[in-house]
Structure 1
Amino acid sequence: MPVKNANAVWNGDLKSGKGTMSLGSGTFEGAYTFATRFEDADGTNPEELIGAAHAGCFSMAFSNELAKAGFVPESVETHAEVTLEMIDGAPTISTISLKVNAQVPGIDDDKFQEIAEGAKKNCPVSRALASVNTIKLDATLHN
């Protein structure tokens, strides 16, 4: 499998410095600062990118697991919320909540939830983030 890459540059100290993050593909570059990460300033931050990666990975994994179970999803939309908080004096990603809305003809909610949980557990980004205390999932089926 191919190796993917990204780059980050930080200039200055933590509080007054600034930086940029970019994807190796060239499809994204964004500025970030202390305020965009630990406060509510405009701009991106590593947690936002982790959320995007997790939402994208889960959507693909869930679609794949649905198809393997004989269901063809019309759409899977995933929203991720990444919580960064102080734990034992260190900023820590404590929770990731995935909210999924999907249209999957012919599936009942019990089977839908079962497959969603499996995809949450086994998508590569979930597996990479296994040290996060809680990865939550709220999956809604739209028929």
Structure 2
Amino acid sequence: MTTRSASAKYEGFGKAGRGHVSLQSGVMKDQFYGFTTRFEDEAGTNPEELIAAAHASCFTMALSFALAQAGHSDGTLETTAKVKLEKDGDGFKVTRSDLSLDARVDGIDAAEFERIASEAKANCPISKLLNAEITLEHRLNA
């Protein structure tokens, strides 16, 4: 149906190496990443941050479409994803993505919202891609 791409270039190796990542759309071009942006606090991006952005946006869009399909037409959804990277043997593994949602959906009851949000969490393409625990905490504001 659709294929999207991104590219990464890394010059040097290990902690001294410096990488740059770009997106097909051009929205992000040659953005710096490396050891210090991943494991310390240097400005730049890192793979887990990009996964978090992808998961938050995918889930939020999936939920928006599911709510529209259920007949809801007004409200707002704001999602934060926290992706956890942990040691795994000699390497690392993304072990979880914790979604936190603030929602205002006019005319919905809590049980219907919970059902639709849980289905969106399970069925968004990025959730299906991740081999990690995925949690969802939400607040529905009337």
TM-score by length of 2: 0.94
Residue 46 of structure 1, CA deviation:
0.6
CA contact (8 A) 1:83 1:95 kept: yes
Provide closer, same or farther for how the CA distance between residues 112 and 88 of structure 1 changes in structure 2, counting only shifts above 3 A: same
Q: Secondary structure at the match of 1:15?
A: helix
Mapped to 2, the partners of 1:119 and 1:50 lie a distance apart of 17
Q: Secondary structure at the match of 1:75?
A: strand
Q: Identity of aligned pairs, percent? A: 45
Which string of whole-angstrom CA distances, capped at 9 and with x for unpartnered residues, describes residues 112-131 of structure 1?
Answer: 111111000000111111x1
Mapped to 1, the partners of 2:101 and 2:80 lie a distance apart of 6
Q: Alignment length, in residue pairs?
A: 141
2:71 is matched with which residue? 70
Instruction: Trace 1:40-79 onto structure 2 (pairs within 5 A).
Output: 40-79=41-80
Residue 99 of structure 1, CA deviation:
0.5
Residue 140 of structure 1, CA deviation:
1.1
Q: Secondary structure at the match of 1:121?
A: helix
1:95 is matched with which residue? 96
Residue 73 of structure 1, CA deviation:
4.0
Q: Secondary structure at the match of 2:25?
A: coil
2:135 is matched with which residue? 136
Mapped to 2, the partners of 1:53 and 1:75 lie a distance apart of 19
Instruction: Trace 1:15-34 onto structure 2 (pairs within 5 A).
Output: 15-29=15-29, 30-34=31-35
Which string of whole-angstrom CA distances, capped at 9 and with x for unpartnered residues, describes residues 11-43 of structure 1?
Answer: 111211011111011011310011111223221
CA contact (8 A) 1:66 1:73 kept: no
Residue 55 of structure 1, CA deviation:
0.6
CA contact (8 A) 1:96 1:136 kept: yes
Q: Secondary structure at the match of 1:22?
A: strand
CA contact (8 A) 1:98 1:138 kept: yes
**Residue identity matched to 1:70:** G
Mapped to 2, the partners of 1:116 and 1:42 lie a distance apart of 33
Instruction: Trace 1:80-91 onto structure 2 (pairs within 5 A).
Output: 80-91=81-92
For structure 2, the residue ranges without an aligned partner over 5 or more in a row are: none
